[in-house]
Amino acid sequence: KAGVTQTPRYLIKTRGQQVTLSCSPISGHRSVSWYQQTPGQGLQFLFEYFSETQRNKGNFPGRFSGRQFSNSRSEMNVSTLELGDSALYLCASRETMNTEAFFGQGTRLTVV
Q: Contact positions toward other proteins, by CB under 8 A?
A: 4, 6, 33, 35, 42-43, 45, 48, 55-56, 58-59, 90, 92, 97-98, 100-106
Of 73 and 108, which has the nearer Cβ to other proteins? 108
Of 79 and 103, which has the nearer Cβ to other proteins? 103
User: Least distance in Å: CB of 16 to other proteins?
Assistant: 28
The Cα–Cα gap between 35 and 103 comes to: 10
Residues 6 or more apart whose CB falls under 8 angstroms from that of 3 comprise 26, 102, 104
